[in-house]
Amino acid sequence: MSHTTVRGPFAPDTEVVASYAFSGTSPEDLPFSKLERLTIVRATNDANWVKARNRDGMEGMIPTSYVTESRKEVKLNTMASKPPTVINFKFPHVLNYSRLFHSEATHRRREDGLFLVRESTNFPGDYTLCVCFERKVEHYRVIYKDNKLTIDEEEFFDHLTKLVEHYEQDADGLCTQLKRSVPKQGRREYSVDPEKAFKAAGWSINRQELKLLDSIGKGEFGDVLLGEWQGQKVAVKRLKDSSRAAQGILEEASLMTSLKHNNLVNLLGLVFEDSCILLVTEFMSKGSLVDYLRSRGRFHVSKRDQINFACDTCSGMAYLESQKVVHRDLAARNVLISEEGVAKVCDFGLAHEMNLKLDGGKFPIKWTAPEALRHSKFSNKSDMWSFGILLWEIYSFGRVPYPRIPLADVMKHVEKGYRMEAPDLCPPEVYQLMKDSWNENCNRRPTFHEAYKRLSQLRQSTLA
Ligand code: ADP
Ligand code: MG
């Protein structure tokens, strides 16, 4: 046996993605799941093995044949994917989200005191003041009260201009005083041409290689089609035009390029055509979880299926949580089932204001945590609330939550402390988890990581 150092195929710091799961055979090995991303640390004496590190920082040996060099992630917008945690003591209604100042160009110029005022997404009629500070963006809700505008309910102003002038003079409780305003842009501008960025990162699919077949669903952005690419069935989201929807879908796609997990619907690539963009993802032959539950019902969906769906979804969400990505629209309709019956979370790139509008009629009120409805305080903990509702959907075989309460009254009841009862034959452990996820205090809700531990314990004891 030779002891000379053979250079492995991967240079240190190369990002690789797992083609197969690897459970490890010795304590020196680093187990990983299919599609997990790893970073190469160094080559070893054996060309078949390299030392690698996972996203949790654990290191160990991995077989090189199990992984391929990953395509790079595409960053169009660094803010949507990783919302910074902003804690503001003075104003409880400060929005926790930084989805404005989207473009890379603005990102680079995100100097302290740069600000803009826009209409509030979740409180139509109100305004939101967005202020850059220490490279983050803080959002302050401007409340319209007794014919006057206020942020802190201490200082009141007749017009926005007066309000802005006031905070230009003095921070008066804001993170910083206002310095320079950004003109409101009708459309987002990327400093990079999205098409070029996706192509350069290896995510572009040649239109000739993609065969389009039947329509399999209707999405927010347009039809979803069945397609065929490289000998496999794929799902294709086609955009009707290249306007706002295209920007939305490109942001979804750019977030998807950075996330890989067996319980997330996996992006395969994009096709750029003259006037439309096709988003190609893995095909989930059994459709959405809610349709699956409804069409099969309690005679065909077993306890084992239910706990598997719950665990799968929770595992995908635990991954998003570890990546500090907030979903915002978790519901059984946004979980898809593969041919093998694996549940995967989709639409996780859609954390955009355009999709979540209270007045749009599409806002998922019954799935949304009270603090998210009220103060736009979306977080992994508000996702956990939605996960509790999703569990309820699974165990009630796809019923619409709060069956007897009109939509307009749900928030009122929930804020008074009303919670749904356990669905028939729901295991007590699952109902306990639902109730924990519906804790009014978001900090008391479990993390997805904890919830997953509880659910997988139950899975072990659940017979078919
Ligand atoms: P949107 O959230 O934009 O409204 P979805 O992504 O939820 O659209 O897709 C709408 C419908 O299309 C889904 O309910 C599902 O029936 C079908 N669909 C979407 N993506 C896939 C996929 N990858 N595989 C199979 N069916 C899909
Ligand atoms: Mg959807």
Render each residue's pLDDT in the chain as its tens digit; 464 residues: 333 333 446 888 888 888 888 888 788 889 988 788 899 999 888 878 899 999 888 899 998 888 888 777 776 543 333 332 222 222 222 222 233 344 333 444 667 888 887 766 666 666 788 888 887 778 888 887 777 888 998 899 887 778 888 999 999 999 999 988 765 444 444 545 677 778 877 888 989 999 999 999 887 767 899 999 999 999 998 876 555 556 666 777 777 788 889 999 988 998 988 777 888 999 999 999 999 999 999 999 999 999 999 999 999 999 999 988 889 899 999 999 999 999 999 987 655 443 444 444 567 899 999 998 888 788 899 999 999 999 999 999 999 999 999 988 999 999 999 999 999 999 999 999 999 999 999 999 999 999 999 999 999 998 65
Residues 356 and 412 in one domain: yes
Instruction: Confirm whether 9 is domain-assigned.
Output: no
**Ligand 1 atom closest to residue 282's alpha carbon, by position in its atom list:** 23
Residues 265 and 294 in one domain: no
Three-class SS state of 164:
helix
Range of the domain at 446: 289-461
Last residue of a domain, one of 238, 256, 282: 282
Residues 384 and 241 in one domain: no
In whole angstroms, give the CA distance from residue 327 to residue 330.
6
Q: What is the 335 CA–ligand 1 centroid distance (Å)?
A: 9
Output the pLDDT for position 122. 65
Instruction: Confirm whether 194 is domain-assigned.
Output: no
Output the pLDDT for position 115. 83
Nearest CA to ligand 1 atom 17: 217
Query: Within 10 Å of residue 220's Cβ, how many Cβ atoms?
Result: 13
What is the sign of the dihedral through the CA atoms of 219, 222, 228 and 232?
A: negative
Output the pLDDT for position 292. 97
Report the CATH number that the domain containing residue 224 is assigned in CATH: 3.30.200.20
For 386-414, the DSSP string reads HHHHHHHHHHTTSPPSSTTS-HHHHHHHH
Instruction: Confirm whether 7 is domain-assigned.
Output: no
Report the CATH number that the domain containing residue 378 is assigned in CATH: 1.10.510.10
Residues 273 and 313 in one domain: no
Catalytic residues: 329
Helix axes 428-437, 448-460, angle to 10 degrees: 170
Q: Which residues line ligand 1 (CB under 6 A)?
A: 216-221, 224, 235, 265, 281, 283-284, 287-288, 333-334, 336, 346-347
Residues 258 and 296 in one domain: no
Ligand nearest 235 Cα, by number?
Answer: 1
Find the distance separating the first CA and the last CA of the chain, reported in whole Å. Answer: 50
Report the CATH number that the domain containing residue 146 is assigned in CATH: 3.30.505.10
Output the pLDDT for position 338. 97
Residues 167 and 112 in one domain: yes
Which residues are within 8 A (CB) of 72 and not within 5 positions of it... i.e. 6 or more apart?
15, 200, 201, 202, 257
Output the pLDDT for position 116. 80
Residues 224 and 317 in one domain: no
In whole angstroms, give the CA distance from residue 232 to residue 55.
29
Last residue of a domain, one of 132, 151, 181: 181
Nearest CA to ligand 1 atom 5: 219
Instruction: Confirm whether 322 is domain-assigned.
Output: yes
Last residue of a domain, one of 246, 263, 282: 282
Nearest CA to ligand 1 atom 14: 288
Output the pLDDT for position 104. 31
Residues 333 and 399 in one domain: yes
Residues 268 and 332 in one domain: no
How many domains, the chain?
4
Q: Which of 221, 224, 347 to mutate to test the pocket of ligand 1 (most atoms within 8 A of CB)?
A: 224
How does DSSP classify residue 64?
G
Residues 60 and 108 in one domain: no
Three-class SS state of 461:
coil
Instruction: Confirm whether 4 is domain-assigned.
Output: no
Residues 245 and 376 in one domain: no
Output the pLDDT for position 243. 53
Residues 33 and 105 in one domain: no
